[in-house]
Structure 1
Amino acid sequence: MEELPIGRRVAYWRNRRKLTLQVLADRVGMSKSWVEKVESGARRLDRFSTISEVADALEIDISMLLGRSPDARPPRAYADHCEIGALRDALGRLALASQLSVPRRPDLDKLRQATEHAWTSFQYARYDVLAQSLPALLRAAQSAADYHTGDAAEQATSLLAQVYQVASSTLRKLGEYDLAHLAADRALGASVRCGDDLLAGTSTTRVANALLAMGHARAAFEANVAMAHRLAPGDVNDAGPDRLSVYGALLLQGAMAAAHLRDSISVRELIAEARVAAIALGVDADHYRTSFGPTNVELHRAAAAVELGEGRQAIAAHDQLDRGRLSALVPERRAQHLLDLARALAHIGGLDRAGEMLGEAEHLAPAEIRSRPAAHAVMTAILRRTKGSPPALLARSPTGWGHWCEQPGVRRERDRRRGRRVRCAAPARR
């Protein structure tokens, strides 16, 4: 692993915390020029007490500066506890803040551009970027919804619903399921207020995904299916692409919830209905941020098979995919599919190929793999059952085999195999 000089680590974390040189200097009781010299390497930072004060000022564990942690280099794929805390505060305080403050006139064009950028960041699995930018974007969207009236209010509320949606999806990827549910519920409320039934449909999928992540598969299934019936077109061949996409996405998410319930009949029925809608749509598209189309239907068929314990069927579905269409999907969707395949392969004993799938997915979208508990579970399973060296592609992954072996669950399994006493990891500094 490449070791960064301590000054560069200080600069990285100061910028990530959005602190000026002067603010950091004030926090540690030094001058601004002292901080500049530390970051440039002109001044050595070698006293433990001083390093500890700098770490406290940056709200990180001292090991992140000393280089004694597997994540001592800048963890681009992660959002840390400070950023999650800022998102929690933004979601928790928006309602009260909107009642107590007089909003300034927001620029809807800039808000729309920022929302588009947030969606693009999500589709490229840049969850670290989103964790840093979403609190301010949430405040701006809420301010716009409070300020405007008439048609502009409807546009602002629609944008607010979309920002809540991307926040919900990001938080779910980061394992913050309660916050994901809160954001999705607010997205649904904003969608209803702006009178957009299709936006309400996509918001429902976010609510259901959060419920599913929290273990409420039945509620997730019922929410998706009820909204799908509400939005079902009378004739799919006469429906517009937006309605077909949202309707199809609801059916696919309903099928995933049914798979968690081990309801294989409902899975087949819902995927069959979604396939009809996809055929009518004709192409893979991203109407209403659904990425719905014939290829995505097949990806969900494979994912549902994994949840049902039908690993070989999942692999067969993958082998039948059109590789050109698959490569045209957004990185987040493709990486999720590769993770599903890795789970299927690990289940049937294809450990080498499972490791290759994880390595390929990490090359494609590092955060989609590094931040997901499911990926760590697959890696643990591979380590538990593999003798000798790791799969070659995984060993050449951007973060390296060393990174994977230092994930908490994987590390405990590695130490168990080596006969070491396994101790619980110390809690992260808050």
Structure 2
Amino acid sequence: MTDATPDPYATPLAFGQRMQILRQRRGISRVVLAGLVDMSPSWVKRVENGQLQTPSLDMILRIAEALRIRDLSDLTGRTTSMRVDLFTGPGHPRLAAVRDAVNRFPVAADRQSPPAEHIRARLGHAWSARHSAPNHREVVGSLLPDLIEDAQLAVRQAESAPERRAAQAALSEVYSLSQFFLAYQPEPALLWRVAERGIVAAQDSEDPHTIGVAAWLTAQAHRDSGPAHFDAADAVTTSTLRHLEPLLPDASDDVRAITGALQFEAGYTAARRGDAGVAWRYWDLAERTAQALPGGYFHPVTSFSRAVMSAHAVTVAVELRSGTESVRQAARAEAAVIPSRPRRARHRIEQARGYQLDGQPEAALATLDQAYEAAPETIRYNGYARRIVLEETEAAAPERRRRACQLAEKIGLLTD
């Protein structure tokens, strides 16, 4: 006899047993899971106990989304016929080079680091390329290895305290850029290593904007790890806001913008919890912060701006599982005014989630096509988009099924 938790990947566990084990590992109660998939707690219990048959594909996908299951076979147990990655996209061809640059530990410096101004200029170019290129991961992945090495070297060779703080700020921003590249790739440990290094470098820089950006990304990493980590996400967000808010009267636009981005992140996590009041209260706070920024301002890392707040409203409504409100917010939000291609594509994906919630699968697929046009590499790595497309590949309507299959082929959804 043993009290150890069974391995959900071992046979012959039934679907319900796998669901229960994965739910418990995520720290989600039956009540919470039931709310996320719009069913009753008793339904969840009966599925887990084997009293109900394995649900339909669309429900399996909803469960996978709620549990943030990265590989559908972890839930279904089917490893031989078809393997489907949901919340992990394919490993990018540039991933190995970025991983090597992060993992490298150079002890001796055999050359002089580039000037800080040079590293800053390259960072600016990299952020601009990320926002403007449809293949943004390819562009950023090609720039990161040299940027990581040079920024690390600049910290080690700094000769004064101010120089070292400035170099740490640049290094933290390089790690922030790395997190965008690594997100949703099959290297979670590497992503966390980069996030932790970014936070440490930001703290050493003592620069408010750098600290805010590193906290913004770390809060997202915690939240994307599942409900058991929501408190950690909130702790990072609220502590950073307490640090930044007293500085706002004399702060730069960038500091005010990262404060607004963090305010929205607090609302985003609340929406994931299903707390509508807190979610919309933080959205209102972020909206006021955005309206106080110049009309054409656009934060180079987070995309925070006046224009993006309507897109954020769609996200809140979707996370609160309100199809009607999601569609209403989607109708108000104009993606064309968002200058960043990946952020515009992400907004289209959120709109598609809203249409799906509202029972408009044709509109959802059409909107995902628009997301693909804006930035193919965004939809290719987005778990929500992949779930919708996969579900629609088995739609009863032939035209929907054909359109979904075409999109699934373009984004490389199914792998043998």
> How high is the TM-score relative to the length of structure 1?
0.68
Q: Which residue of 2 aligns with 1:57?
A: none
Output the CA distance in 1 between the equivalents of 2:407 and 2:270: 35
Distance in structure 2 (CA, Å) of the matches to 1:138 and 1:240: 27
- CA deviation digits over 1:317-359, x for unaligned, max 9? 12123x3x84243111111010011111112211111011000
Which residue identity lines up with residue 104 of structure 1 in the other structure? Q
Answer with 1 or 2: which has the greater Rg.
1
Q: 1:128 to 1:234 in 2, by over 3 A?
A: closer
Given that 2:348 and 2:367 are in contact with CA atoms closer than 8 Å, whether structure 1 keeps it comes out as yes
Q: Percent identical across equivalent pairs?
A: 24
Distance 2:222 2:345 in 1: 22
Aligned CA distance change for structure 1 residues 105 and 135 (closer, same or farther; 3 Å): closer
- What per-residue deviation string (whole Å, max 9, x for no partner) do you get for residues 235-285 of structure 1? 76x754223211100011111111112222210111111112112225252
- 8 A contact 1:111–1:141 mirrored in 2: yes
Partner of residue 120 from structure 2, selected from 112, 120, 141: 112
Residue 345 of structure 2 contacts residue 371 of structure 2 at CA under 8 Å; is this kept in 1? yes
Does the CA-based 8 Å contact 2:394-2:401 persist in structure 1? no
CA contact (8 A) 1:202 1:288 kept: no
Q: Number of aligned pairs?
A: 323
- Within 2, Cα distance between the matches of 1:121 and 1:173? 20
Instruction: State whether structure 2 residue 181 is matched by structure 1 residue 166.
Output: no
Q: Deviations over 1:208-254 (max 9, x none)?
A: 11112222222112211221122114776x75422321110001111
Secondary structure class of the residue paired with 1:291: coil
2:244 paired with 1:231: yes
Q: State the Cα RMSD in Å.
A: 2.6
Task: Give structure 1 stretches of 5+ with no counterpart.
Answer: 1-77, 412-424, 426-430
State how 1:385-404 maps to structure 2 within 5 Å. 385-390=395-400, 400-401=406-407, 403-404=409-410
Which residue of 198, 211, 216 corresponds with 1:187?
A: 198
Which of 99-108 and 257-266 deviates more?
99-108
How far off is 1:305 after superposition? 1.2
Match of 2:366 among 335, 344, 356: 356
Cα separation, 2, equivalents of 1:306 and 1:229: 28
Q: 1:346-381, CA deviations, whole angstroms, 9 ceiling, x for partnerless residues?
A: 122111110110001101111001122221111012
The one-letter code of the counterpart of 2:290 is A
* Structure with more relative contact order (C-alpha pairs < 8 Å, separation 6 or more): 2
Q: CA separation of 1:379/1:156 partners in 2, compared to 1, >3 Å: closer, same or farther?
A: same
The 8 Å contact of residues 359 and 393 in structure 1, kept in 2 or not, is answered as no
Give 1:394 shift: 6.9
| Contact 1:118–1:130 under 8 Å retained in 2 | yes
* Structure 2 counterparts to residues 6-405 of structure 1, below 5 A: 80=91, 83-93=94-104, 96-97=105-106, 99-124=107-132, 126-150=136-160, 151-174=162-185, 176-215=187-226, 216-233=229-246, 240-283=252-295, 285-287=297-299, 289-321=301-333, 323=334, 326-390=336-400, 400-401=406-407, 403-404=409-410
The verdict on how the C-alpha distance between 1:195 and 1:391 changes in structure 2, with shifts beyond 3 A counting, is same
Assess if the C-alpha contact under 8 Å between 2:208 and 2:255 holds in 1. Answer: no
The TM-score with structure 2 as length reference comes to 0.71
Q: Which runs of 5+ in 2 are unaligned?
A: 1-88
CA shift in 2, pair 1:247/1:405, >3 Å: closer
1:377 and 1:394, CA in 2 relative to 1: closer, same or farther beyond 3 A?
closer
Deviation at 1:402, TM superposition (A): 6.4
